Amino acid sequence: MIPKSHPRYESLRQRELLVEGYKAGATALEGLIAFGRGEAFDYLLGEKTPDAAVEAVRAAAAMLLAAENPVVSVNGNTAVLCPEELVKLARAVEGKLEINLFYRTEKRVKAIEGILKGHGAEKVYGVKADAEIEGLDSRRRLVDREGIYSADVVFVALEDGDRTEALIKAGKKVIAVDLNPLSRTAQTASITIVDNVIRAVPLLLAAAEELRAMDREALNRIHRSFDNPSNLRKSLSEIIHGLRSMASH
Ligand code: ATP
């Protein structure tokens, strides 16, 4: 148990969730390493949601609500960091939840399905992966025909650049959560929320609940007026500004 008074309590709590996730067979070892890359960027953000991410969250909520067939993609890291919020997000946008893994094994799929169902999910897609995304090799290409394969908007977090690109090439809009504004995923996605997934998903859920009553026209106006490259530049500027002010102290 980490005492709440520990100055790095929140970061250590997240590590503990991932270690438990690994022991439970849900999180891959590689997922722990990917998390470490994210943590370094979170440190640079002062472990706070940047203003740029708040704008991206609003556009993302509008895009998910306006979609015909939105899918919330879950992997071994997000399943242990924010399972309840992911289940609620899929429900709020009337979308599907799909397990989609970089390192897919049946054991991990089952473990993640158990976590999601334990947090209230009724149907979980991706348990059977009966379709393929073109342009990817090995098991990374496997998706659910009724889920990601036929989705128009896919929400992903801690994604890999190749797969983001393949989803875009397949004609889908991709909403990514990625702490690194320079990653290929961040640069390729339709909307990138530069924030820790543990903070971003609750914000996205709240925004979806707030915008839910809007008609499709109004939702489309919100997400169409969002410019991802310019928002990424804002996130980078916030990091640079934070570093400058630390350097001048
Ligand atoms: P890319 O292929 O997109 O350039 P990458 O190879 O740098 O990505 P991966 O190891 O494939 O990175 O994926 C990890 C990504 O997820 C990194 O960009 C990292 O910053 C991000 N990440 C890790 N933990 C979190 C988190 N908790 N919240 C948001 N993003 C995270």
CATH class for the domain made up of 51-240? alpha beta
How far, in Å, is the centroid of ligand 1 from the Cα of 213?
33
From the alpha carbon of 30, which atom of ligand 1 is closest?
10
* pTM for the full predicted model: 0.96
- pLDDT digits 0-9 by tens, 99-131: 999 889 999 999 999 999 999 999 999 999 999
The DSSP line for 161-174 is: HHHHHHHHHTT-EE
Write the DSSP symbol of residue 131. Answer: E
- pLDDT digits 0-9 by tens, 134-181: 988 877 899 999 999 999 999 999 999 999 999 999 999 999 999 999
Residues with CB under 6 A from ligand 1: 34-35, 37-38, 41, 157-158, 160-161, 177-180, 183-185, 196-198
Instruction: Give the three-class secondary structure for 96.
Output: strand
- Each domain of the chain, given as residue ranges in start order, spans 51-240
- pLDDT digits 0-9 by tens, 180-236: 999 999 999 999 999 999 999 999 999 999 999 999 999 999 999 999 999 999 999
Res 140: pLDDT: 83
CA-nearest residue, atom 30 of ligand 1: 178
- pLDDT digits 0-9 by tens, 5-57: 887 888 899 999 999 999 999 999 999 999 999 999 999 999 999 999 999 99
Of 3 and 213, the one with more pLDDT: 213
CA-nearest residue, atom 2 of ligand 1: 161
Query: Is 41:53 a contact under the CB 8 Å cutoff?
Result: no
The DSSP line for 47-77 is: TS--HHHHHHHHHHHHHHHH-SSEEEEE-TT
Q: At which residue do the structure tokens 């002062």 appear?
A: 46
